[in-house]
Amino acid sequence: MTARQNFAYNLRSLRSTKGISQERLADLAELHRTYVSSVERCERNISIDNMEKLAAALGVDIRDLLQPNDNPSDRIR
Amino acid sequence: MTARQNFAYNLRSLRSTKGISQERLADLAELHRTYVSSVERCERNISIDNMEKLAAALGVDIRDLLQPNDNPSDRIR
DNA sequence: GTGTGACTTCTAGTCCGTA
DNA sequence: ATACGGACTAGAAGTCACA
């Protein structure tokens, strides 16, 4: 369970809870749609500035996106 | 008070509380001494992987390094 | 022990497309 | 609405010499 995996999982989870699309989130955070997609798929080593942008776009604290969770898919890796 | 500023401040603060040098921390985290220095001075837009390395080296949770604080120097900026 | 500028290598991040 | 690929540019990673 890396920080990156937690971030990816929480991002997707929070985003869909709020009912917004990757595209919309990307716009709000001023990032590219495909980039948000790759972050959620845990492919990217995101920087702190962009983590903050995404957190702000979702209206949460950056630490909320780093909260440990035990999503099954992470355990597989 | 950006996430970056919080991280920088907490890193330095926690590190010196533990009484270890930048050099020692860098070794523990497998990063370069001058890189740690520049992160503490808020010059670098550090990535999540390196944040995790530093947190692990200090024996704390990554979220502890993102805790908001009201250090005076940040207010000046 | 730390700060800093300069530098190269590597990847983050964008933009175009297809499915 | 999302995944994924290729090609590209911006910027982070990583190192060094010197103060």
Q: pLDDT for B24-62, tens place per residue? A: 999 999 999 999 999 999 999 999 999 999 999 999 999
Residue ranges of domains in chain B, CATH in brackets: 3-59 (1.10.260.40)
How many Å apart are CA B34 and CA B25, to the nearest integer? Answer: 11
Q: Is A36 exposed, middle or buried (0-12, 13-18, 19+ CB in 10 A)?
A: buried
Confidence of residue A74 (pLDDT cuts 50, 70, 90): very low
* Partners of residue B62 in chain A, C-beta under 8 Å: 3, 66
Q: Are A67 and A13 in contact (CB under 8 A)?
A: no
The minimal CB distance from A66 to the residues B45, B49, B63 is found for: B63
Higher-confidence residue: B33 or B70?
Answer: B33
Dihedral over Cα of A43, A47, A48, A49: its sign: negative
User: Does B72 have pLDDT greater than 60?
Assistant: no
Can you tell me which residue has the tokens 């869909």? A16
> Do A3 and B49 count as a contact with CB atoms less than 8 A apart?
yes
**What does the mean pLDDT of chain A come to?**
92
Residue A45 CB in 7 A reach of strand C: yes
Cα dihedral A49→A38→A75→A4 (10° resolution):
-10
Whether A7 and chain B come into contact, CB under 8 Å, resolves to: yes
The minimal CB distance from A49 to the residues B4, B62, B67 is found for: B4
> Do A4 and B45 count as a contact with CB atoms less than 8 A apart?
no
Q: What is the mean pLDDT of residues A13-18?
A: 96
Q: Extract the tokens encoding A36.
A: 């948000």
> What pLDDT is recorded for position A69?
83
Q: Are A48 and B48 in contact (CB under 8 A)?
A: yes
What's the Cα-to-Cα distance from B24 to each of B18, B37, B51, B56, rounded to whole Å? 11, 12, 16, 13
Buried b (16+ CB within 10 A) or exposed e, A39-53: bbebebebbbebbbb
